A and B are shown apart, each in its own frame.
Chain A
Amino acid sequence: DAGVTQSPTHLIKTRGQQVTLRCSPKSGHDTVSWYQQALGQGPQFIFQYYEEEERQRGNFPDRFSGHQFPNYSSELNVNALLLGDSALYLCASSLYGTGPYSNQPQHFGDGTRLSIL
């Protein structure tokens, strides 16, 4: 049973460019959440997708956008990259309405390390 998979594992971009990160949820999960984790910090919630719609959003600018496909996989897009966008981007999957606090906690992938030069 495959867990959460993310691609690519590493990515290098320059300021002003755009990037797309991809996530496949754990089998049986229908909800995908994205987090940004800067070095030495805890993960920061970006947004959550369910039924191909954004359901919750953290304190991130509109440069961060996402998409969920009918097979529940998801993409995170970041436009006009800034140096401060350098981070580990984590994807987590769960069953809708359960979230990280319920008896069915989120399952995380190992992330995409994004470096902005």
Chain B
Amino acid sequence: LAKTTQPISMDSYEGQEVNITCSHNNIATNDYITWYQQFPSQGPRFIIQGYKTKVTNEVASLFIPADRKSSTLSLPRVSLSDTAVYYCLVGDGNRDDKIIFGKGTRLHILP
């Protein structure tokens, strides 16, 4: 299983773009990269998923370099409501693939 490494915490200000990088040096060929967001006392919520290059949706963008050993979640123009924990997961969706969340990145948005 590919292990992921993320910064423990980050601070930013409202209106800025925030980039959270996740390292996954042992990523396998069939692995996808998935990001979840979790607010206090709520379950994680899917944000975005990608395999290579760039993926964008209404919430975020995900940048994946050619070697796929890292990925960057980009949140444009953050607001106070983006304060949450962000988890990076790597896996191939195989039914036997163990499901592992790390400790995530605590993002704190300041006014």
Q: Name the prevailing secondary structure of the A interface residues.
A: loop
Complex alpha-carbon distance, A42 and B85, angstroms? 9
A102-B43 in contact given A42-B103, A56-B95 (Cβ < 8 Å): no
A-B contact count (CB 8 A): 77
Least CB separation from B39: chain A residue = A110
Could you tell me which A residues sit within 8 Å of B by CB distance? 4, 33, 35, 40-45, 48, 55-56, 58, 88, 90-92, 96-103, 105-111, 113
* Contact residue among B43, B44, B45, B93 (Cβ-Cβ distance under 8 Å from A98): B93
Least CB distance from A34 to B in Å reads 11
Residue of B43, B44, B46, B102 with most chain A CB atoms under a 10 A cut-off: B43
Answer whether residue B89 sits at the interface, using C-beta atoms and an 8 A cutoff. yes
Residues of A within 8 A of B93 (CB): 97-102
A42-B90 in contact given A4-B43, A100-B99 (Cβ < 8 Å): no
22 pairs, CB–CB < 8 Å, chain A vs chain B: A40-B103, A42-B87, A43-B101, A56-B95, A58-B99, A96-B95, A97-B95, A98-B93, A99-B91, A99-B97, A100-B89, A101-B93, A102-B32, A103-B49, A105-B36, A105-B46, A107-B46, A108-B43, A108-B45, A109-B43, A110-B41, A113-B41
Residues of B within 8 A of A48 (CB): 99
